[in-house]
């Protein structure tokens, strides 16, 4: 998969042009982003083979962070080394972040007007349908047997009992890893590995003033531990910013996610929107840097190890457990957000129609978000 030094040094302009274009046009979520990257880098440019591209997908699933962004960073690293890593990742992230800041400025200025409220009144139930579709699609891959099913259900219960999200993710990963490798652990007290994690309760964080340092650290933590779809991000945002710190309301959280869904590029730019709401442009910069920085570090460390990682039964078991746990967390938070977003017959109808369009007709989610916003605006006029 490696390319020689001349190709690395000559690929920066190509990388910048490709990922700037994808950063502006890549709508539809991580799966769509990765499909577009495959078309560009394997089919058209032939930078990678199909096998090499699949290796990168596997590597991104074994580390925390947004999968499509990490694919861009991996491709940049393979094409042009450290400089390519930075250029590809930054060019994929920054266009979406800029669009999110512009839309969030409009939200802050006009979102509390009657028109702004009606707009998000129609968008929020569409978001619930989009998340439900992601749950279904991810669930078919993540929950594939009795053990992963138990992990997912157990994590849902643990979340509502107040167990720390990170503890639930780690416990889910360890349970599946241990069960899959039980034969190798005979004679050891495997259950002892779980007690320290399962015993962790939800961290109590007192309400405090918003600061750039705290914003950066919160999103750095999330970017360092979050596995699975970008929608799993909702779990951490709900827990840290709504339930514990009370910096956001549940409605503001759904609104920020809706803004992120309206834009191309990574779903994690929801952090950019929240940072702007809480701290203006400096807050947007702090939150964006915090949530994406770990991905650059993880890719740089893991890329040389890809051949070994993909063949490890321990790593694959841990990954399957973490994915099942992440799905459980996502389901629990979706239930909470649904109570905020679906409040009357019209919002229920919007959610059902959007779900039907997604599941049966595969309508692009961006058009559904726009349609939901139009219905919301019209409902305020009629």
Q: Report the percent of the chain where pLDDT is more than 90.
A: 38
Q: Does the CA dihedral 308-311-312-317 come out positive or negative?
A: positive
Question: What mean pLDDT comes out for the span 3-27?
Answer: 77
Task: Report pLDDT for 90.
Answer: 97
Cα distances (angstroms) measured from residue 251 to each of 213, 238, 372? 25, 11, 16
User: Average pLDDT of the chain?
Assistant: 84
Task: Report pLDDT for 200.
Answer: 45
pLDDT reading at 269 higher than 70: yes
| Comparison of pLDDT for 341 and 353, the residue scoring more | 353
Question: What mean pLDDT comes out for the span 113-142?
Answer: 82
Q: Report how far residue 66's alpha carbon sits from residue 86's, in angstroms, rounded to the nearest whole number.
A: 15
pLDDT reading at 356 higher than 90: yes
Q: Report how far residue 174's alpha carbon sits from residue 127's, in angstroms, rounded to the nearest whole number.
A: 32
Under the banding of pLDDT at 50, 70 and 90, the label for residue 199 is very low
Q: Which residues contact 139 (CB under 8 A, 6 or more apart)?
A: 152, 327
Domain spans in the chain, listed from the N-terminal domain onward: 5-381
CB 276 within 8 A of CB 104: yes
Q: Which of 113, 137, 111 is nearest to 124 (CA)?
A: 111
Q: Which of 113, 120, 116, 118 is nearest to 380 (CA)?
A: 118
> Backbone phi, then psi, for 62, in 5-degree steps?
-95, -5
Question: What mean pLDDT comes out for the span 181-204?
Answer: 53
CB 57 within 8 A of CB 34: yes
CB 64 within 8 A of CB 220: no
DSSP H helices in the chain: 5-10, 12-25, 30-38, 50-61, 67-110, 114-142, 146-160, 165-180, 195-198, 212-225, 233-237, 250-262, 270-302, 306-309, 313-341, 345-361, 365-381
Look up tokens 């799966």; give the residue.
31
Q: For residues 282-296, b (16+ Cβ closer than 10 Å) or e, as one string?
A: ebbbbbbbbbbbbbb
Task: Report pLDDT for 261.
Answer: 72
Look up tokens 């990963």; give the residue.
173
């Amino acid at each position: 998969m490696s390319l020689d030094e001349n190709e690395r040094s000559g690929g920066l302009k190509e990388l910048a042009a490709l990922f700037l274009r994808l950063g502006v046009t890549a709508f539809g979520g991580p799966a769509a982003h990765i499909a577009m990257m495959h078309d560009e880098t394997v089919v058209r440019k032939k930078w990678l083979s199909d096998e090499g591209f699949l290796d990168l997908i596997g590597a991104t699933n074994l580390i925390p962070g947004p999968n499509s962004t990490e694919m861009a960073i991996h491709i940049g690293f393979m094409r042009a080394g450290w400089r390519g890593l930075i250029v590809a990742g930054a060019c994929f992230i920054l266009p979406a972040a800029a669009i999110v800041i512009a839309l969030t400025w409009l939200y802050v200025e006009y979102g509390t007007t009657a028109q702004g409220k009606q707009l998000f009144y129609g968008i929020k139930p569409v978001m619930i349908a989009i998340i439900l579709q992601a749950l279904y699609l991810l669930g078919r891959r993540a929950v594939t047997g009795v053990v992963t099913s138990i992990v997912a259900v157990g994590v849902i219960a643990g979340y509502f009992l107040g167990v720390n999200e990170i503890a639930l993710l780690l416990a889910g990963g360890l349970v599946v890893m241990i069960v899959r490798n039980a034969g190798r652990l005979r004679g050891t007290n495997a259950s002892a590995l779980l007690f320290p994690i399962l015993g962790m309760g939800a961290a109590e964080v007192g309400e405090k003033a918003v600061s750039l340092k705290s914003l950066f650290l919160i999103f750095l933590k999330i970017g360092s531990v979050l596995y699975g779809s970008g929608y799993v991000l909702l779990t951490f945002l709900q827990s840290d910013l709504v339930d514990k710190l009370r910096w956001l309301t549940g409605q503001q959280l759904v609104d920020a996610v809706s803004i992120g869904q309206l834009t191309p590029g990574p779903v994690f730019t929801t952090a950019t929107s929240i940072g702007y709401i809480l701290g203006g442009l400096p807050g947007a910069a702090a939150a964006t840097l915090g949530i994406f920085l770990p991905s650059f570090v993880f890719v740089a460390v893991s890329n040389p190890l890809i051949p070994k990682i993909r063949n490890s039964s321990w790593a694959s078991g841990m990954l399957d457990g973490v994915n099942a746990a992440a799905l459980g967390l996502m389901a629990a938070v979706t239930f909470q957000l649904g109570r905020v977003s679906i409040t009357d017959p019209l919002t229920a109808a919007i959610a059902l129609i959007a779900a039907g369009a997604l599941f049966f007709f595969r309508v692009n989610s961006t058009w559904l978000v726009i349609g939901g916003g139009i219905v919301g605006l019209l409902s305020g006029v009629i």
